[in-house]
Chain A
């Protein structure tokens, strides 16, 4: 049986030739993404800003203006009403109410009661309320969890490799997370706690990809001490190219299936991870590798580990 080979044997692509062009594009895109986040903002869900959301499935299609009027009659501020999944399913979101922390829970109860009274047979599928205090904590917790895990990982990579690799991994992560944030700012897809899980998955995947390539670069740095940095990076990337393509494709394949067949509630999450996988694959080649050159990694960097003599600094030994 002939096996599928997506990447031919012994490729010799000069990835690094366009590294400056790629870098400029990446910087521009990152700046654009962050600007977009700053200007348009993210469509933060109630998990992070507080408020109420009720998702209802009606028996018959309803007139959205009529529904809007009835929700407005509750006098709980500007409601946003969106179709969700089907034409009879709507998501109604109310802003965080004034008053004590308990007001959010009371508001969702009122909305729920109104829907069941005004639209007989309507089924309230999901109702959530988050008070201002809790939402602030959730936002803080989420940011802290992502930030600290990135830091912990960078320290580990620094210890296992060299500090340049730790910085490289951090910059790569920063790039990937900014791009996905920019995507959310552009599409205005709602960012809730589940999306934080998606960010964590992206961080995990992006790192995995970067670490695999770094591992090969380290191996080659030890093996070919005389080789210049650029050809060495090209060699490492070509050697791992087949693995990169097969892994990325299989994961994207799985995510694409999840995107089309999976439940509506994880659509945003899956889309984010799918995008993140794509960006993570790109960035591990065009950001994490060339940055090592700029940070001054040389074939000498790993000599120490091979010589079994920590006292003999490579530079002095020569």
Chain B
């Protein structure tokens, strides 16, 4: 028992000091911490949204929509390749029904050449050498392209990575807020934004695909047919965003949002909120040429297949700058600008889970939670003191250091503290108390059996350790499995438990042992009051 080498106590104090240094930033206001020197640790415990207030959304990719879009893109790619490439191959009877692209090659002699060229369009997907599209010939004139499973998966994976970045740019354009945007599983994205209490704006901002297109209005279309949703060949019917009916536009886009370099909210000459955009050089060139050829004709500004407005081209727009108008408020214009600047979402995202907690409620939870925790800790401390006297003081010190180390651990690992986390905290404090109780009771027992003071201390610590060890290992197993298989609050609980198990063994066993050893060495007591 007395054998407590100096390096060991130095080590223990060092751990405690480091723990304190890491825990301190979480206990003082954030504004203060931000003014600190770089070398001072300043990682703070982040509070979960249930404590801090804010909104959390779980988004899921609409895979049916993604597959449809992928098919449409393929259709365009294929028709462009065959009709415009050299030599030209005439095709007809194009269909995308049943999730596959099928068409007829008009001249059967060109069939092999067509297959050859289409195969070259597909990409390898996965490790098995499989390609992302399967090209087959049926009925000797018809080519069918079927998306392979690997191809779909690869495409979705790439889309989700891009989607995550797009969502992050939309939620946090300046990159300064403490938002969390992470991929979850294969087709989900979790977004947590502290401080946002009305998630509607957030949902709108994220939910916009933001596919921007400029197309010429088809003036030759029959208005009656357009109203019924029918358009001449080469054109399509789109609804107006304000719900005022349909409009026919040319299928081919003049320019698309991909060619944007800038988008921001501004005002037009009438003081109306608009979105100002600027194209890159190729976009600007195309926009200039098309507007030049179509002066005095209207063009449509289309967002996600809805027509925002269809202004007249009064004069050629040459500088690559344009304004999008469409009954915006400053806020909606700003939102659209952010959505456009962040790029279009490669896949439609649906909100499948939403949780919002107001800052007031969060603050109330923290305040009451803190008061209750402090009171609970005090109650336990008093109980320990009256039960174990001097050893109760050691247990108390261990308890306080333990709480500090858990805070430090949470700050270092960047784990957010949630309400279930507080439950985990209470449980580990309970475990730490139990470890001390086990040791102290064992020492009492050994004394009763007539052992000498030093002997009973030694045996007490030694014998109690097996029980403490087993109890903690079982809890660790539970915590690890919960963390691995659980979700949300269960994980929050598990993280605190894992940190707490380690710190409680350290404080309840090692730290108190050092205190006891130093006391015995210094005072050489003859009797033990425990």
Interface residues of chain A, those whose CB is within 8 Å of chain B, are 1, 3-6, 9-10, 55, 100-102, 104-105, 108-109, 112, 123-131, 133-134, 137-138, 141-142, 144-146, 148-149, 152-153, 156-157, 160, 193-194, 196-198, 200-201, 203-205, 207-208, 211-212, 214-216, 219, 239-240, 242-243, 246-247, 249-251, 253-255, 257-258, 260-263, 265-266, 269-270, 273
| A4-B489 in contact given A108-B354, A266-B423 (Cβ < 8 Å) | no
Does B529 make an interface contact (CB < 8 A)?
A: yes
Task: Assess the A253–B352 pair: CB atoms within 8 A.
Answer: no
Chain B residues with CB under 8 A of A270: 423
Rounded to whole angstroms, the CA-CA distance of A215 and B426 in the bound complex is 24
Does B515 make an interface contact (CB < 8 A)?
A: no
24 A-B residue contacts at CB 8 Å?
A109-B199, A127-B354, A129-B354, A152-B477, A152-B478, A193-B420, A194-B423, A200-B478, A200-B494, A201-B493, A208-B431, A211-B470, A212-B438, A216-B467, A246-B387, A246-B441, A255-B426, A257-B372, A257-B376, A261-B371, A262-B369, A266-B365, A269-B420, A269-B423
Chain A residues with CB under 8 A of B467: 211-212, 215-216
Task: Assess the B489–A196 pair: CB atoms within 8 A.
Answer: yes
B476 to chain A, nearest CB (A): 9
A109 to chain B, nearest CB (A): 6
Task: Assess the B437–A250 pair: CB atoms within 8 A.
Answer: yes
Rounded to whole angstroms, the CA-CA distance of A145 and B365 in the bound complex is 27
Nearest A residue to B466, CB-CB: A215
Of the listed stretches B165-173, B249-257, B480-488, name the one at the interface; the rest are far from the partner chain.
B480-488
Nearest A residue to B468, CB-CB: A212
Chain A residues with CB under 8 A of B57: 105
Task: Assess the A129–B358 pair: CB atoms within 8 A.
Answer: no
Pick the residue among A104, A129, A138, A263 that contacts B364 (CB under 8 A).
A263
**Considering the complex of A and B, which 3 residue pairs feature the smallest CB-CB distances, nearest first?**
A197-B420, A145-B486, A261-B372
A279 to chain B, nearest CB (A): 15
Task: Assess the B433–A211 pair: CB atoms within 8 A.
Answer: no
Rounded to whole angstroms, the CA-CA distance of A201 and B389 in the bound complex is 29
Task: Assess the A124–B376 pair: CB atoms within 8 A.
Answer: no
Rounded to whole angstroms, the CA-CA distance of A250 and B383 in the bound complex is 7
Rounded to whole angstroms, the CA-CA distance of A235 and B423 in the bound complex is 34
| A126-B474 in contact given A254-B426, A262-B369 (Cβ < 8 Å) | no
Chain B residues with CB under 8 A of A6: 387
Chain B 230-250 against A: per-residue CB contact (8 Å), 1 yes, 0 no? 000000000000000000000
Nearest A residue to B445, CB-CB: A239
Task: Assess the B490–A211 pair: CB atoms within 8 A.
Answer: no
Which one of A55, A137, A200, A243 has the highest number of Cβ atoms from chain B below 10 Å of its Cβ? A200
Does B351 make an interface contact (CB < 8 A)?
A: yes
Task: Assess the B352–A105 pair: CB atoms within 8 A.
Answer: yes
Task: Assess the A204–B438 pair: CB atoms within 8 A.
Answer: no
Pick the residue among A108, A242, A249 that contacts B441 (CB under 8 A).
A242
Chain B residues with CB under 8 A of A3: 386-389, 529-530
Total of A-B residue pairs, C-beta within 8 Å? 247
Chain A residues with CB under 8 A of B375: 257, 261
Nearest B residue to A260, CB-CB: B372
| A211-B430 in contact given A142-B490, A201-B423 (Cβ < 8 Å) | no
Rounded to whole angstroms, the CA-CA distance of A208 and B427 in the bound complex is 11
Pick the residue among A104, A207, A250 that contacts B478 (CB under 8 A).
A207
Task: Assess the B380–A101 pair: CB atoms within 8 A.
Answer: no
Chain A residues with CB under 8 A of B485: 141, 144-145, 148
Task: Assess the B360–A125 pair: CB atoms within 8 A.
Answer: yes
B102 to chain A, nearest CB (A): 29
Which one of A104, A138, A219, A247 has the highest number of Cβ atoms from chain B below 10 Å of its Cβ? A247
Rounded to whole angstroms, the CA-CA distance of A156 and B477 in the bound complex is 8
Does B444 make an interface contact (CB < 8 A)?
A: yes
Task: Assess the A265–B50 pair: CB atoms within 8 A.
Answer: yes
Rounded to whole angstroms, the CA-CA distance of A212 and B470 in the bound complex is 8
Chain B 46-65 against A: per-residue CB contact (8 Å), 1 yes, 0 no? 00001000000110100000
Does B321 make an interface contact (CB < 8 A)?
A: no
Task: Assess the A130–B386 pair: CB atoms within 8 A.
Answer: no
Nearest A residue to B57, CB-CB: A105
Nearest A residue to B55, CB-CB: A127
Does B409 make an interface contact (CB < 8 A)?
A: no
Rounded to whole angstroms, the CA-CA distance of A148 and B490 in the bound complex is 13
Task: Assess the A269–B419 pair: CB atoms within 8 A.
Answer: yes
Chain A residues with CB under 8 A of B343: none
Task: Assess the A124–B358 pair: CB atoms within 8 A.
Answer: yes
Rounded to whole angstroms, the CA-CA distance of A6 and B57 in the bound complex is 51
Chain A residues with CB under 8 A of B58: 134
Chain B residues with CB under 8 A of A104: 352-354
A276 to chain B, nearest CB (A): 11
Does B302 make an interface contact (CB < 8 A)?
A: no
Chain A residues with CB under 8 A of B151: none
| A266-B369 in contact given A104-B352, A156-B477, A205-B430 (Cβ < 8 Å) | yes
Chain B residues with CB under 8 A of A251: 430, 433-434
Does B473 make an interface contact (CB < 8 A)?
A: yes
Task: Assess the B357–A125 pair: CB atoms within 8 A.
Answer: yes
Question: Knowing that A102-B351, A254-B429 are A-B contacts, what are 17 other residue pairs whose CB atoms are under 8 Å apart, sorted by A's residue number?
Answer: A4-B386, A101-B352, A108-B354, A126-B356, A127-B355, A141-B486, A197-B492, A200-B482, A203-B478, A204-B475, A211-B467, A246-B441, A250-B384, A253-B383, A257-B375, A261-B375, A266-B422
Task: Assess the A148–B350 pair: CB atoms within 8 A.
Answer: no
Rounded to whole angstroms, the CA-CA distance of A157 and B477 in the bound complex is 11
| A128-B444 in contact given A134-B58, A212-B467, A247-B433 (Cβ < 8 Å) | no
Rounded to whole angstroms, the CA-CA distance of A258 and B426 in the bound complex is 10
Does B109 make an interface contact (CB < 8 A)?
A: no
A44 to chain B, nearest CB (A): 15
A169 to chain B, nearest CB (A): 8
Task: Assess the B353–A197 pair: CB atoms within 8 A.
Answer: no
Rounded to whole angstroms, the CA-CA distance of A249 and B365 in the bound complex is 26
Task: Assess the B482–A145 pair: CB atoms within 8 A.
Answer: yes
| A101-B350 in contact given A3-B387, A3-B389, A196-B489 (Cβ < 8 Å) | yes
Does B136 make an interface contact (CB < 8 A)?
A: no
| A149-B441 in contact given A102-B350, A193-B490, A255-B426 (Cβ < 8 Å) | no
Rounded to whole angstroms, the CA-CA distance of A131 and B203 in the bound complex is 15
B358 to chain A, nearest CB (A): 5
Pick the residue among A126, A193, A208, A258 that contacts B434 (CB under 8 A).
A208
Task: Assess the A130–B353 pair: CB atoms within 8 A.
Answer: yes
Chain B residues with CB under 8 A of A141: 485-487, 490
A285 to chain B, nearest CB (A): 16
Chain B residues with CB under 8 A of A55: 361
Chain B residues with CB under 8 A of A128: 354-356
Chain A residues with CB under 8 A of B353: 104-105, 129-131, 134
Pick the residue among B369, B433, B486 that contacts A250 (CB under 8 A).
B433
Task: Assess the B372–A204 pair: CB atoms within 8 A.
Answer: no
Chain B residues with CB under 8 A of A207: 471, 474-475, 478
Does B276 make an interface contact (CB < 8 A)?
A: no
